[in-house]
């Protein structure tokens, strides 16, 4: 069955993906991506994220030593846009106001160190910064959801190589969370157990798609993965947010992040581009026993450092489609060293 075209159901979004394993061998004469320069300075005087440097509007960054969080100077959401948006009364022209605010979080003062190159305490620091700031934002009265995400690499539209992430807090739930809330709530209603807790247990029984796991978290290429080397990192217990994690859970999550991102970089021996983000439960003050904290890694590369997967044509007009199976993808990632290629002894 796995070598012939088939559809797989994404239990978390309620959507389907078309899998065409036989197609992976087709020749490629299409676009080849440019590689970003590999060696960056530890400090770049022209970088608006490096310590002590000037940002837009003449603000200077502090001489920070760990992580650094600041309000995005070009935020996509504003706290007080309500009065500006005219309400529409026509059912075919619906708009509603949206409010919120956005942070940028630098991982460290180092301009040149991405997540896999940071040591475990530094990765824990990044996780704790995300946890604290998303909890603080979620506690604001008008905020009902906080999205933590990292866009890594120019290929993903990241505008600055200094390793950083963003937090967008908003008053209404975004599309992906609406879908995941519906599927997890429904599953919990029927089974009285969280969907992702059951899913991870079943994946551990099958052992076909696990990339790495420890006591508290598992990284796997999900059964329903859309992107070639997509990874889902999920907690083993029901958990609504990063803030709920104990110290040992935070350490465990840092270890999983280091494992995943190191293998990513080792795959093509480049700084591997991706969009990554956490899905936390809505910050609505309600209990969320159905929710299991998880992160999605969506990397665009397919065959090499320069050939990416495009979500075009059939994907845009019909549904997502993939060539290599999740089982083949995880096997490739699993076979790689967990020592970063830059740190390997020659
Ligand atoms: P991305 O490259 O991942 O988009 O993140 C950079 C963010 O930094 C971007 O959202 C913000 C941009 O708005 N930024 C500032 O807040 N201040 C600046 O001086 C430049 C960029
Ligand atoms: Zn910098």
Residue of higher predicted confidence among 185 and 303: 185
User: Is 164 known to be catalytic?
Assistant: yes
Give Cβ neighbours of residue 331 (< 8 Å, ≥ 6 apart).
none
- Overall average pLDDT of the 89-96 stretch: 88
Q: Distance between CA atoms of 219 and 238, rounded to whole angstroms?
A: 16
- Overall average pLDDT of the 255-271 stretch: 96
Classify 276 as helix, strand or coil: strand
> Residue 33 has what pLDDT?
65
Q: Which of 162, 164, 236, 279 is catalytic?
A: 164
Beta bridge partners of 167: 103, 148
Of 132, 174, 172, 177, the closest CA to residue 280 belongs to 177
Q: From atom 17 of ligand 1, which residue's Cα is the shortest distance away?
A: 73
- Overall average pLDDT of the 110-132 stretch: 98
Ligand nearest to the CA of 103: 1
Taking 80 as the threshold, does the pLDDT of residue 89 lie above it? Answer: no
Mutate to test the pocket of ligand 1, among 73, 151, 277 (most ligand atoms within 8 A of CB): 73
Mutate to test the pocket of ligand 1, among 72, 154, 155, 158 (most ligand atoms within 8 A of CB): 72
Taking 80 as the threshold, does the pLDDT of residue 187 lie above it? Answer: yes
- Sorting pLDDT into bands at 50, 70 and 90, what band is 301? confident
Ligand nearest to the CA of 47: 2
| Ligand 1, CB cutoff 6 Å, lining residues | 48, 55-56, 72-74, 104, 151, 158-160, 166
- Overall average pLDDT of the 18-36 stretch: 71
DSSP track, 239-254: BS-GGG--HHHHHHHH
Taking 70 as the threshold, does the pLDDT of residue 55 lie above it? Answer: yes
- Overall average pLDDT of the 41-59 stretch: 95
Ligand nearest to the CA of 41: 2
> Residue 101 has what pLDDT?
97
Point out the ligand 1 atom lying closest to the alpha carbon of residue 55: 19
Q: How far is the CA of 178 from the centre of ligand 2 (A)?
A: 35
Mutate to test the pocket of ligand 1, among 77, 104, 149 (most ligand atoms within 8 A of CB): 104
Q: What is the pLDDT of residues 95-120, one digit of tens each?
A: 889 999 999 999 999 999 999 999 99
List of long-range contacts for 207-210, beta carbons under 8 Å, 24+ apart: 208/327, 208/330, 209/326, 209/327, 209/330, 210/330
Q: Distance between CA atoms of 221 and 148, rounded to whole angstroms?
A: 21
Q: How far is the CA of 103 from the centre of ligand 1 (A)?
A: 9
Q: How far is the CA of 282 from the centre of ligand 1 (A)?
A: 25
Q: From atom 15 of ligand 1, which residue's Cα is the shortest distance away?
A: 73
Q: From atom 12 of ligand 1, which residue's Cα is the shortest distance away?
A: 74
- Average pLDDT value for the chain: 93
Taking 90 as the threshold, does the pLDDT of residue 202 lie above it? Answer: yes
Q: What is the pTM of this model?
A: 0.95
Point out the ligand 1 atom lying closest to the alpha carbon of residue 151: 3
Q: Which domains are assigned to the chain?
A: 9-21+32-340 (3.30.428.10)
Q: How far is the CA of 161 from the centre of ligand 2 (A)?
A: 7
Residue of higher predicted confidence among 113 and 28: 113
Ligand nearest to the CA of 44: 2
Tally of CA atoms within 13 A in the half-sphere of 265 that contains its CB: 21
């Amino acid at each position: 069955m796995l070598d012939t075209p088939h559809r797989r159901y994404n239990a978390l979004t309620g959507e389907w993906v078309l899998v065409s394993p036989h197609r992976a061998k087709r020749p490629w004469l299409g676009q080849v991506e440019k590689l970003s320069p590999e060696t960056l300075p530890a400090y770049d005087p022209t970088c608006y994220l490096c310590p002590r440097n000037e940002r837009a509007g003449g603000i200077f960054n502090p001489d920070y030593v760990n992580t650094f969080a600041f309000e995005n100077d070009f935020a996509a959401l504003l706290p007080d846009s309500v009065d500006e948006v005219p309400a529409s009364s026509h059912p075919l022209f619906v708009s509603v106001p949206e409010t919120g605010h956005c942070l940028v979080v630098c991982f460290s003062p180092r301009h040149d160190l991405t997540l896999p190159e940071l040591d475990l305490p530094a990765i824990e620091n990044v996780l704790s910064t995300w946890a604290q700031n998303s909890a603080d934002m979620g506690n604001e009265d008008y905020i009902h959801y906080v999205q933590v995400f990292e866009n890594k690499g120019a290929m993903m539209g990241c505008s600055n190589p200094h390793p950083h992430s963003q937090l967008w807090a908003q008053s209404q739930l975004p599309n992906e969370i609406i879908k995941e809330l519906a599927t997890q709530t429904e599953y919990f209603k029927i089974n009285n157990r969280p969907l992702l807790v059951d899913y991870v247990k079943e994946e551990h029984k099958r052992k076909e798609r696990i990339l790495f796991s420890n006591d508290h978290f598992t990284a796997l290429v999900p059964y329903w993965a859309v992107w070639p080397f997509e990874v889902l990192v999920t907690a083993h217990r029901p958990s609504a947010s990063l803030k709920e994690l104990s110290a040992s859970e935070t350490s465990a999550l840092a270890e999983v992040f280091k494992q995943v991102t190191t293998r990513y970089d080792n795959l093509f021996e480049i700084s591997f581009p991706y969009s990554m983000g956490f899905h936390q439960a809505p910050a609505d003050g309600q209990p969320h026993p159905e929710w299991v904290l998880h992160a999605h890694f969506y990397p665009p590369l397919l065959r090499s450092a320069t050939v990416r997967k495009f979500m075009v044509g059939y994907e845009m007009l019909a549904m997502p489609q993939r060539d290599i199976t999740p089982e083949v993808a995880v096997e490739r990632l699993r076979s790689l060293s967990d020592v970063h290629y830059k740190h390997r002894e020659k």
